[in-house]
Structures are given as structure tokens and as C-alpha cells.
Amino acid sequence: MSPQNPRNPRQIAMIHTVSGLIPLFDGLAKQHLPQWQGFNMLDESLLRSTIRDGALSQTTMWRLTHLVRSAIDAGADAVVVTCSSLGPAVNAAKPFCPVPLFRIDEGMAEAAVTLGPRIGVLATLRTTLDPTSDLIRRSAAKAGSTCTVIAEMTEGAFQKLCSGDTAGHDAMVAQSLRDLAPRADVIVLAQASMARALALVQDALHPLPVLTSPKIGMQYIASQLSA
């Protein structure tokens, strides 16, 4: 019997800041990256520090770079950061990363700019709203198109989520979607934790496209890795 190749299957590390999202991303990785073996790394303090500081600090960015390096030392052949608030830190870490490194909202941003010039961005955290809006503008420029970003906050929803009131969080996000819909050609939900709320209003908003980062992000990552 020939010895098993220790590098097969390839490993993809998923770095999280919200523990409750790990099962969602585990399922998506198995669905879209069946030839890869995923493992999870959790550091809730990265998001908490960003919320406390009101923006990404140099310390938090440096800490994420070290966490990416730890994932590679653990055997990762690719790394994805599932927290959109850390997006700029992912960009900063890429030059120092010897394996493919992804932010989960890349695929969503690239898809959004193809669906219309008025792009609504909905978030429950200011620290996510601004990085996602910037990513969409850069994606539009990369695609050679122009866009108007309509950035909106659902104030108080994240606090409900943190207190365990998921139904209250989802209801607030759903109402924000209804309010934003008439002004946009496409809406993106800036945080993976908001995706569940879409089910409450998806039929009412049809045919307006509303994009969420987890599924589109993993599909995008799968396409990039297969290429």
C-alpha cells in the first residue's frame, strides 16, 4: 500500500470573530470546497477591540497578520477571514502571506457592481459599514464601472444579537431592508451575521437582488482556488 500524501487533502483555515457562525461556514466549505479540509480559528477579541476603538487599530491589524501566520504554520494552504470588519487588515496582511488569503466579502462586492449602479450597503456595525462600502467602490473601479453606494446602519441590531435576541435582530434588519429597497438596484448585507434575516423579506423584495457574503464568498473562493 502506498503511503498517504500528508498534503492531501489541502487545508483551508477559516478565521472567525463570531463563534456562532462557525457551523455555517463549515457547511459551506464542505459544499463548495469538497476537495479541501477546513479548520477553524476563533478570536472574538479582534472584533471586540475594533468595536471598542471605533475602527481597526494598527495593533489589531498586526494581531490578525500573526493569526494568519499561525494558520499557515498549522498547515493551511489557503486562509479566509470571515469577519468583514477586519477587511482592511486582510488587505494589509496579503503581501506577507505566502498562500491565498481571502476576505469573505470579496465575491459579494464583485457581484454587486455587476447588478446596477445604485448599491445599498446595510450593516449593524459602523466598523463594517465603511470597509464594505470602500471595497465596493474599489471593485467598481477595478471593473471599470461607476457606482453610488448608499450606506445605511441598522442601529441597535447588533446589541440585540449580542444579548441573544436573534429574532429582534432579524426583525430590525428586515425592516431596514424594506426601507432601503426603493433606493437601490442591489443591496448587500455587510455582515455574515445578517444573512439569516433575509429569509423574512426575500419574497417581498423580489426581484431586487440582496447579496450576503457567506455563500457568495465561499463560491468565489472556490472559483479562485480552482483557477
What pairing do the DSSP bridges indicate for beta strands 186-189 and 36-42?
A: unpaired
- Per-residue model confidence (pLDDT) at position 183: 96
Average pLDDT over the chain, rounded to an integer: 93
What fold, for 107-214? Rossmann fold (3.40.50)
Q: Note the pLDDT tens digit of each residue in 44-103.
A: 999 999 999 999 999 999 999 999 999 999 999 999 999 999 999 999 999 989 999 999
* Residues 88, 134: Cα–Cα separation, whole Å: 9
Q: What is the CATH number of domain 10-104?
A: 3.40.50.1860
Return d(Cα 65, Cα 71) in angstroms, integer: 10
- pLDDT of res. 4: 44
Domain ranges of the chain: 10-104, 107-214
- Would the pTM of this model clear 0.95, i.e. be above it? no
How many C-beta atoms lie closer than 10 Å to residue 223's C-beta?
Answer: 11
Domain 10-104 identical in fold to domain 107-214: yes
Q: Point out which residues pair with 151 in neighbouring strands.
A: 121
